[in-house]
Structure 1
Amino acid sequence: MSEIANLPDQAHQPYIDLDDRRRAALAEIDNAKFGWFHIRACIVSGIGFFTDAYDIFAINLVASMLGYIYFINNKNKLPANVDTAVKVAASVGTMVGQFVFGWLADKVGRKRMYGVELIIIIVATIGQSLAANSPALSVWSAIVFWRLILGVGIGGDYPLSAVITSEFATTRRRGAMMAAVFAMQGIGILAAAVVALIVLVAYKDAIQADINYLDQVWRLVLGFGCVPAVCALYFRLTIPETPRFTMDIEQKIDKGAKDAAAFLERGAAAGDYSEADVMARSEVPKASWADFVAHFGQWKNGKVLFGAAYSWFALDVAWYGLGLNNSFILSSIGFAGGSDAYTTLFNTIVGNIIINLLGSVPGYWITVFTVDKIGRKPIQLGGFVMLTILFLILGFGYNAILSYSSALFLVLFTLAQLFFNFGPNSTTFIVPGEVFPTRYRSTGHGISAASGKFGAVVAQVGFGALKDIGGTNMWIDHLLQIFAFVMLTGVFSTLLIPETKGRSLEDLSGEDQANFVGPEKEKASRA
């Protein structure tokens, strides 16, 4: 029995009951049998990540098309500043969206914000696909604007999908559920290339007769990104609030307990409540700036936030630095250039499909099937170690490897893609959705994710500015060496995070959960 239960003052009895009910409801969720409602939660969240990845990485292919239409006088390529702006805009917006939506989800609720980010994505996707030149605004400026807005919606999806999945998941399969949601990123990247290939091939004769038909191709490729978002919108707007938010932030224990039982039974909220149910409130720690500082000011909690945030930053420096600037990879393996625009674009798209099928997609799904067996920390640590080694080999042996065999270069790069995704690219998404208390779970994930996108912005701007020092792609080897060093720092930041496998969210919260519900004065005296 809890400490409060042993107190002689019977005025504490209501808090004893609420505390027991809260623990029982959370235990039901943590130990539930895996069912359709868990699969539905993964699908609804996963479609969002499919859309996010599609929209982010489709621009890598579209940028090549824009060069042929709008920059004929620049050797059919976007100027460096335009290329950087078009590619980095979504990352800047994403960084803002991750932080803002992360905070809002803890402030007003997961349910109230879920779906809002998809609406933003849908509107911005349509907007960018309809961008055009005008006397006041160039087409690429309009694309940059809409991709900035698009990024805000994409950013909101990160903390919301992660936290909703983790708070509905069973303890035993929480890692796999979150990894499956994130694995849709790999499918989305692949889908962007497949859709681009289908549309390009469909327009082959028209493009070869008149290159301006590429203007229709890139609009269709970008516009398709809103289709899965539209399909998922209804389900996101109707998903129930998580019982953890209801109990720990809204402080309605009875309502949260009944919602938990209803979700496990039929995957929905319990419905109407009596006034007594709704007003059965508790006193639990409340989010505030002072409480945030007090909680994360403790080294045991602060180091976890720093470790999660910096690990994501380190990962995204290399992940986005290469992912949105992979033309040198395609050139190295013989999938770049061609006799005309159609052939060049066809080779570029096919090369992207090969790279993703060989390394990226398998890596995500290996994580799904192993993360609850191996653990998050070993996968992240092993991934950073392997990436450090691979980038050292690729960086210091870049010219020698290419001179010896392009196939060897492809094998090494494929291994790097594998260990990105069977490694920190998956676990940096999972861990921040598990290690923070309910009142800061979404905020903490948003801070960690925004740190990652800051790394992406640094990488994309830096990559564009540095790669051509001394000539086209002449500084690539040094960039790969820099990536090796950054991956090494990720090894050390990983040591700051706990292993979350098999542990409840309350166990990972960094605070005493024994007598969580009760008068603040009693909580203060126990502290």
Structure 2
Amino acid sequence: MPENSPQDGRVTRTATTESARHRSDLAEYERSDGRPVFVLTRTELKLLGIAGVGFFLDAYDLFVINPVATMLQYRLYGGNHLPPHLEGFVKAGANIGSVIGQFAFGYAADALGRKAVYGKELMLIILATILTMTTPTGSLSPDHCLIYLAIFRILLGIGVGGDYPMSASITSDRSNLRKRGTMLAYIFSNQGWGSFMGSLITIIVLACYKHVMDGKGEVHKVDGVWRIVVGVSLIPAFATLYHRLTLPESTRFIASQKLKHANNAAEEGDAIAAIKRAQAAEDIKMGNLTPSTNNSSEGSDKDKVEDEIDELGSEQAFSTAEEEEVAPPEVLVKKKAHFKDFIKYFSEWRHAKLLIGTCVTWFLLDIAFYGINLNQNVVLQQIGYDGSDGSPWNRLFKISTGNMIITALGFVPGYYASILTIEKLGRKWIQIQGFLMSALFLAIIAGLFNSLSKPAFIVNFALLQFFFNFGANTTTYCYPAEVFPTRYRAFAHGISAAAGKAGAIVSALAFNSLSKDIGTPAVLWIFFGCCVAGAGFTLLLPEVKGRDPDLILADEIRIKREERERRERL
């Protein structure tokens, strides 16, 4: 009889270290395969393509609105600026929708399962993009056209927002522990490529229209340019939709949902063993392990797990308090979560502070990050790419070129610096130094805003963007996917991401008016304060490199059960 299961069926104190005793066994399945963590297997590359396209579209759709808004000036207002209140609404529309999508899809992924939900957010993105392209600029008044556009960008945002918790959970569920942060950083890095491609596509389409707009003076043809630019995003969306809709649930997730619960604590060891086999099978599927790498039976383990899942069939995970009294923690940590369960878990300070940390840091980061990137015209003006002179075509072309320069200098390099170092330096270190370095360059730009030379401004702004992405912009996405147990991961990630988008909305709506009232340097000082505060709130979070939140939750459940049984015996 196992030492943690005496004959009276009660758990003794030795069971508190059950998960700790199995850590070495779990590590056996997570150990290095001899390749650097940033070298992905073929299956991981496929997953990167399926999940990463959402963030490609996220950046493409969110940042392409800047040149599109400029094009609409010429199509609807004769080259004059858009009405400030409507411009803010159009730019904030996708972020407003994102908040809704992050909450809704995050909860659904935990309550209904990943497979039942994944792909639906991409269908929304496709529908909203098509509806956006139908904006009737020839029949509605200019103001009504902007309202029409903003409404469907809200719908677009719901789909984009839903992709955050969905892709994060899908990736984290499938990732080898030693590569989990790298995989998440790879997924998120597609934002950089989305922004870059948005600018590049705009340049290409404008070049195709040059003879019409610049040669013949038919500026109204810009109406076709922005629709093509927006519509190009449908290509990767349609290319990925089938794969998302047919992506099976991860072996780990299925096994943990279907495991037969133990009738007493004596069966806890069997439950742990089954989860270990599921983890091994998932690593085999992802190409991180082969039967030859472990001198034993990972291949047969995979068959065992699949047989076990088939055998369990439609048996449901636990849902009543009585079942929780007897179910082993290793099963409980992966069961589908419901709202009351979620609230109960986060009512404890040790858990609540993690959610506060992920929410507040993401909120503060996005105030600064989106405040600058949704209003890049201020930056473009400083570096001479604001399109303030020349023909309408030349102005648009210059703005798009400036946007691409900014993206190439800071966005993409920053993301890949995170990918290459995240498993070495850790998430917490990268996030704190990223906040502090961003604050430094914001202070330089704000303090010397009117005296910096053009080359100096470009260098400082590029370094600012670099440390946004080799820093908090990457890690605020990774943290919720790694610090929370599987049972609460998607909803907690959705709430954290929604807090971030709330910061983006604040910036989109307030930046222009604040810049006029107190000046751009003063607004940049506000962003400086946000970054310093973000570094402070990061201290609420643990380092998650190599951390398994499910094992931690298993220990917490076991200790609570022991304490309850000890009180009953007294």
**What TM-score, normalized to structure 1?**
0.89
Alpha carbons of structure 1 residues 151 and 271: separation in structure 2 relative to 1, 3 Å: farther
CA distance 1:100–1:277, shift in 2 (3 Å): closer
- Equivalences for 1:501-520 in 2 at 5 Å? 501-507=545-551, 509-510=552-553, 512=555
Amino acid at match of 2:232: F
Identify if the C-alpha distance between structure 1 residues 524 and 422 changes in structure 2 by more than 3 Å, giving closer, same or farther: same
SS of structure 2 residue aligned to 1:279: coil
2:532 alignment counterpart: 488
- Report whether the alignment pairs 1:131 with 2:135: yes
Where structure 1 has 5 or more consecutive residues not aligned to the other structure, the ranges are none
Whole-angstrom distance in 1 between the partners of 2:245 and 2:25: 24
Question: Displacement, 1:298?
Answer: 2.0
445, 448, 465: which one pairs with 1:394? 445
Q: Does 1:115 align with 2:129?
A: no
The structure-2 alpha-carbon separation of the partners of 1:27 and 1:270, relative to structure 1 and needing over 3 Å to count, comes to: farther
- Distance across 2 between alignment mates of 1:215 and 1:48: 26
Query: Which of 458, 481, 487 matches 1:410?
Result: 458
The corresponding residue for 2:296 is: none
Kindly indicate whether the alpha-carbon contact (under 8 Å) linking 2:259 and 2:312 is maintained by their aligned counterparts in 1.
Answer: no
| CA contact 2:48–2:187 (8 Å) conserved in 1 | yes
Specify which of 193, 207, 210 is matched with residue 213 of structure 2. Answer: 207
Secondary structure in 2 aligned to 1:500? coil
- Return the offset for 1:437: 1.5
In the other structure, the counterpart of 1:235 is 243
Q: Aligned partners of 2:259, 2:346: CA distance in 1, in Å?
A: 22
1:525 aligns with 2:562: no
Counterpart residue number, 2:156:
150
For residues 210-268 of structure 1, give each alpha carbon's deviation from its aligned partner in whole angstroms, at most 9, with x where no partner exists.
01110000000001111111111111112121344334455568997776555444459
SS in 2 for 1:438: coil
Aligned partner letter, 2:62: I
- The residue identity in structure 1 corresponding to 2:113 is G
Quote the Cα distance in structure 1 between the aligned partners of 2:547 and 2:10: 33
Which of the two has higher C-alpha Rg? 2
1:222 pairs with 2:241: no
Give CA deviations for 1:51-96 in whole Å, capped at 9, x if unaligned. 1111111111111000000011xx4321111211110000000011
State the shift of 1:408 in Å: 0.8
Aligned CA RMSD, in angstroms, stands at 2.9
For the pair 1:63 / 2:74, whether they are aligned, the reply is no
Distance 1:272 1:227 in 2: 40
Partner of residue 179, structure 1: 185
**Residue range with higher mean Cα deviation, 93-102 or 41-50:** 41-50
Match of 1:8 in 2: 7
The structure-2 alpha-carbon separation of the partners of 1:170 and 1:261, relative to structure 1 and needing over 3 Å to count, comes to closer
Contact 2:258/2:313 (<8 A) preserved? no
What is the correspondence of 1:431-442 to structure 2 with a 5 Å cutoff? 431-442=479-490
Q: How much has 1:105 moved relative to structure 2?
A: 0.4
> Could you tell me how far 1:140 is from its partner in structure 2?
1.5
Amino acid of the residue matched to residue 74 of structure 2? Y
> How far 1:42 sits from its partner (Å)?
1.9
Q: Distance in 2 between matches of 1:372 and 1:82?
A: 44
Identify the range of structure 1 (186-195 vs 261-270) with the bigger mean alpha-carbon deviation.
261-270
Contact 2:257 2:316 in 1 (8 A): no
Cα 1:61–1:280 change in 2 (3 A) is: closer
Q: Which moved more, 1:491-500 or 1:250-259?
A: 250-259
Give the Cα–Cα distance (whole angstroms) in 2 for the partners of residues 151 and 83 of structure 1. Answer: 16
Task: Give the conservation status (yes or no) of the 8 Å contact 2:111–2:338.
Answer: no
Match of 1:140 in 2: 146
Question: Shift of the alpha carbon at 1:391?
Answer: 1.4
Q: What corresponds to 2:295 in structure 1?
A: none
Q: In the alignment, which of 274, 282, 303 is matched to residue 353 of structure 2?
A: 303
User: 2:86·2:146 contact (CA, 8 Å) conserved in 1?
Assistant: yes
Q: State whether structure 2 residue 391 is matched by structure 1 residue 340.
A: yes
Asked whether the equivalents of residues 437 and 510 of structure 1 are also in contact (C-alpha less than 8 Å), the reply is yes
In structure 2, the CA distance between the partners of 1:155 and 1:32, relative to structure 1 (3 Å rule), is farther
Where do residues 286-435 of structure 1 align in structure 2 (5 Å cutoff)?
Answer: 287-336=337-386, 337-401=388-452, 405-435=453-483
1:85-141 per-residue CA deviation (whole Å, 9 max, x = no partner) reads: 110000000011011111110000111111000000011111101211445883222
Q: Is the 8 A contact 1:29 1:168 kept in 2?
A: no
Could you tell me how far 1:506 is from its partner in structure 2? Answer: 2.2
Partners of 2:414 and 2:102 lie apart in 1 by: 24
| 1:333 counterpart letter in structure 2 | I
Work out whether residues 379 and 424 of structure 1, in 8 Å CA contact, stay in contact via their aligned partners in 2: yes
Query: What is the identity, as a one-letter code, of the residue corresponding to 1:212?
Result: H
User: Is 1:90 matched with 2:94?
Assistant: yes
CA distance in 1, matches of 2:521, 2:372: 12
8 Å contact from structure 1 (residues 30, 504) kept in 2: no
**479 and 345 in structure 1: CA distance in 2 versus 1, 3 angstrom threshold:** same
Matched, 1:80 2:81: no
Residues 427 and 442 (structure 1), Cα distance of their counterparts in 2 relative to 1, 3 Å cut: same
Task: Give the distance between the partners of 2:317 and 2:346, measured in 1 at CA.
Answer: 26
Q: Which consecutive unaligned segments of at least 5 residues does structure 2 have? A: 34-39, 262-270, 287-301, 319-326
User: Relative to structure 1, is the Cα distance of residues 312 and 275 closer, same or farther in structure 2, using a 3 angstrom cutoff?
Assistant: same
Secondary structure of residue in 1 paired with 2:71: helix
After TM superposition, the structure 1 stretch with the greater mean CA deviation from structure 2, 195-204 or 258-267, is 258-267
Residue aligned with 2:178, SS: coil
The residue matched to 2:451 in structure 1 has which SS?
helix
Counterpart residue identity of residue 106, structure 1: D
Give the whole-Å Cα distance in 2 for the aligned partners of 1:361 and 1:323.
14
Q: How many pairs does the alignment contain? A: 507
* Amino acid in structure 2 at the alignment position of 1:6: S
- The question of whether the paired residues in 2 share the 8 Å contact of 1:377 and 1:497 is answered with yes
Contact 2:257 2:317 in 1 (8 A): no
Residues 258, 312 of structure 2: 8 Å contact kept: no
- Measured after TM superposition, the shift of residue 293 of structure 1 is 3.2
Pick closer, same or farther for the CA change 1:522–1:413 going to 2, 3 Å. same
Give the TM-score normalised by structure 2.
Answer: 0.82
Contact in 2 for aligned 1:383/1:422 (Cα 8 Å):
yes
- The AA in structure 2 aligned to 1:376 is R
CA distance in 2, matches of 1:410, 1:68: 28
Question: Does structure 2 conserve the Cα–Cα contact (< 8 Å) formed by 1:38 and 1:168?
Answer: no
